[in-house]
Amino acid sequence: MNPSLLSGPRNVQPYQISKGEEYMSKEQLEHFRTILSSWKQDLMQEVDRTVLHMKDEAANFPDPNDRATQESEFSLELRTRDRERKLIRKIDEALKRIEDGSYGYCLETGEPIGVKRLEARPVATLSVEAQERRERREKQFGDRDDFYR
């Protein structure tokens, strides 16, 4: 289990913006497509490892404590895989936005999200300001909309 995969893709080299380069140029889009595809592949491999691990480790322990420990471990692993499954869906949505030309732009304001923010969170759909507004609203009203996460 590799919880670091949930926080972001591995081995990402920051994009070096050329002077005068247009925001979300072909090169930038290709850079983020590569990051997202690689991240998705790593997550899918983790899912496969989990399935194999759970098949190999599945045993009917006679001792209730051993059985409870195994069930607890499996439960944690399945929760992590569920979070990764949701992340894979967000990666797929980001890849679709790259294809339709809307990647890198805030879904609320239409403003550029920014290369640095996308480097940190390639599935981001909101600018920093829009995300902060959303979080304040959630805190204030207990409102939560998972569509934008």
Same domain, 132 and 77: no
Q: pLDDT by residue (tens digit) across 83-130?
A: 889 999 999 999 999 999 999 999 999 999 999 999 999 999 999 999
The model's pTM is 0.78
pLDDT at 76 over 60: yes
**Domain ranges, residue 36:** 23-103
Give me 33's structure tokens.
């497509």
Higher pLDDT, 106 or 72: 106
CATH of residue 76's domain is 1.20.120.910
Whether residue 17 lies inside any domain: the answer is: no
Q: Residue range 4-21: average pLDDT?
A: 78
Give me 45's structure tokens.
């491999």
Same domain, 113 and 50: no
Same domain, 30 and 92: yes
Whether residue 111 lies inside any domain: the answer is: yes
Same domain, 95 and 145: no
Give me 148's structure tokens.
């934008």
Q: pLDDT by residue (tens digit) across 15-49?
A: 888 888 999 999 999 999 999 999 999 998 888 88
Give every CB contact of residue 126 below 8 A, 6+ residues apart in sequence.
106, 107, 108, 113, 134, 148
pLDDT at 1 over 60: no
Q: What is the C-alpha separation between 14 and 24, in angstroms, rounded?
A: 14
